[in-house]
């Protein structure tokens, strides 16, 4: 099976995760994809492929050489982001891209344009995989899953020498829980790479410190004709709370190492309102300050409207893995060399997001992040090129091959 055929098969499974669910995985359809991955792995000869009770898929490619080399891990996630529709994905492969507009949906006048998405210029001459503009594509991270499986199949069906390689596919990464129940000890890798990045060549070992915040506001409803001095409109308090946050610290105004507050959901009426935020910053001190600001805002509004009006809960999702990866920079250098050997220029950039690897690095499994080739993640304009996916599969194989040639950690 080619990497493209594999990818198109995987995106046919709807696997949107749900932060409101308390189960693992958060949505049962992730289990359907997990079972499909186990089937594919077993078909290619990965005898121990299995899905555990929490929806994590694991498998092992046994070593076929006797050198004392480290055990590698390759990891990707199965869920897709709830930020855009993930049902009934209609993926298609275009002809070689000519640099102009790509009509995603003629009936609805949805166009993928290089004027709006200038990164398209890097895909000229390549075959693009896109949707019909009504859903996301799911290259984040099913491109990573397909690339890992294609690399695994190549290792298993060729005479290339390799050490032991561990594979894992996780649920619920998009809602910050992908590493919650990951069995690091059972996985048994010395270090690993997540394949969950963007444009080809990206290599990342710095990510945001990340937290999520849930705010419940309880109002007091009274007939508006006699409400003076008594009504507390929860929806208005929600607006007031948001207005107390720095207006320029949002995704729209920030890039590079700058952090932000992102309001992901808002529902409200007079008696109750609920807001959900994600909080991000590369700098640990600024990250803690952002969380503290929300705490102080909640305290201020409770003083103004009465105790219990604003209920705030903050949950740390992951921390910047840089402090852990810097102790093992050889794994970054090994990935750089594999890219160069494959004819790809490495681009070391900070992740304006996070990966399972961030959490896993703090759990004792150093785990930088590799590109998938996808662009415009979490949107209806998501795309990935066929050629990028093929190249990234080659890079994964070269990482494994180079470790044998070096014969050392």
Mean pLDDT of 70-90: 96
Same domain, 106 and 191: yes
Query: Which among 318, 333, 368 is the end of a domain?
Result: 318
Among 291, 318, 345, the domain boundary falls at 318
Per-residue pLDDT reduced to its tens digit, 371-407: 999 999 999 999 999 999 999 999 999 999 998 887 6
Do 293 and 333 lie in one domain? The reply is no
If asked whether residues 286 and 327 sit together in one domain, one would say no
Angstrom distance (rounded) from CA 230 to CA 78: 49
Q: Same structural domain for residues 155 and 230?
A: no
CA 58 centroid distance within chain: 19
Total number of domains in the chain: 2
Q: Are 253 and 198 a contacting pair, CB within 8 Å? A: no
Q: What is the mean pLDDT of the chain?
A: 96
Of the residues 318, 350, 383, the one at which a domain ends: 318
Give tens-digit pLDDT for 112-142.
Answer: 999 999 999 999 999 999 999 999 999 999 9
Pair 255, 183 in one domain: no
Instruction: Examine the domain organization and report whether 191 and 257 are in the same domain.
Output: no
pTM here?
0.85
Structure tokens at 71: 């055990």
> pLDDT, tens digit, for every residue of 216-254?
999 999 999 999 999 999 999 999 999 999 999 999 999
Supply the CATH number for residue 296's domain.
3.30.70.360
User: What contacts 22, CB < 8 A, 6 or more positions away?
Assistant: none
Are 33 and 140 in the same domain? yes
Residues 122 and 199 in one domain: yes
pLDDT band, residue 176 (cuts 50/70/90): confident
225 in the same domain as 128: no
**Same domain, yes or no: 329 and 313:** no
378/281 same-domain check: no
CATH number at residue 33: 3.40.630.10
**Catalytically active residues, by annotation:** 79, 173
Q: Residue 180: pLDDT above 70?
A: yes
Radius of gyration of the chain (CA): 23
- Token digits of residue 233: 């409109």
Check residue 407 and give its pLDDT: 60
Which residue range forms the structural domain that includes residue 125?
3-207+320-406
- 34 & 141 share domain: yes
């Amino acid at each position: 099976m080619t990497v493209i055929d594999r990818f198109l098969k995987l995106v046919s499974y709807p696997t949107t995760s749900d932060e409101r669910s308390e189960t693992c995985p958060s949505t049962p359809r992730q289990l359907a994809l997990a079972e499909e991955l186990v089937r594919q792995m077993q078909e290619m000869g990965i005898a121990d492929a299995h899905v555990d009770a929490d929806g994590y898929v694991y498998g092992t490619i046994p070593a076929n050489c006797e050198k004392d080399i480290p055990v590698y891990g390759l990891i990707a996630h199965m869920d897709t982001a709830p930020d855009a529709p993930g049902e009934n994905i209609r993926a298609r492969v275009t002809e070689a891209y000519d640099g102009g507009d790509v009509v995603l949906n003629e009936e609805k006048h949805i166009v993928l344009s290089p004027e709006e998405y200038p990164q398209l210029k890097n895909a000229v001459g390549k075959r693009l995989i896109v949707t019909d503009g009504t859903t996301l594509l799911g290259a984040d991270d099913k491109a990573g899953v397909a690339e890992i499986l294609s690399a695994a199949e190549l290792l298993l069906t060729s005479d290339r020498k390799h050490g032991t390689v561990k594979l894992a596919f996780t649920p619920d990464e998009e809602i910050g829980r992908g590493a919650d129940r990951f069995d690091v000890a059972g996985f048994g890798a010395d270090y690993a790479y997540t394949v969950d990045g963007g444009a080809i060549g990206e290599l990342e070992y710095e990510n945001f410190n990340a937290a999520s915040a849930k705010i419940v506001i309880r109002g007091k409803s009274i007939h508006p004709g006699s409400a003076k001095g008594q009504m507390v409109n929860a929806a208005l308090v929600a607006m007031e709370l948001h207005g107390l946050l720095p207006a320029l610290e949002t995704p729209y105004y920030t890039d590079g190492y700058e952090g932000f507050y992102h309001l992901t959901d808002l529902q409200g009426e007079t008696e109750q309102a609920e807001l959900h935020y994600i909080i991000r910053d590369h700098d640990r001190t600024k990250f803690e300050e952002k969380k503290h600001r929300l705490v102080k805002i909640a305290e201020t509004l409770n003083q103004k409207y009465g105790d219990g009006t604003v209920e705030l809960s903050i949950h740390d999702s992951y921390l910047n893995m840089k402090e852990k990866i810097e102790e093992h920079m050889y794994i970054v250098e090994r990935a750089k060399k594999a890219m160069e050997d494959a004819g790809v220029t490495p681009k070391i950039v900070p992740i304006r997001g996070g990966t399972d690897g961030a959490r896993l690095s703090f759990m004792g499994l150093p785990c930088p992040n590799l590109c998938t080739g996808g662009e415009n993640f979490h949107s209806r304009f998501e795309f990935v090129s066929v050629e990028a996916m093929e190249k990234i599969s080659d890079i994964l194989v070269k990482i494994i091959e180079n470790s044998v040639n070096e014969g050392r950690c």
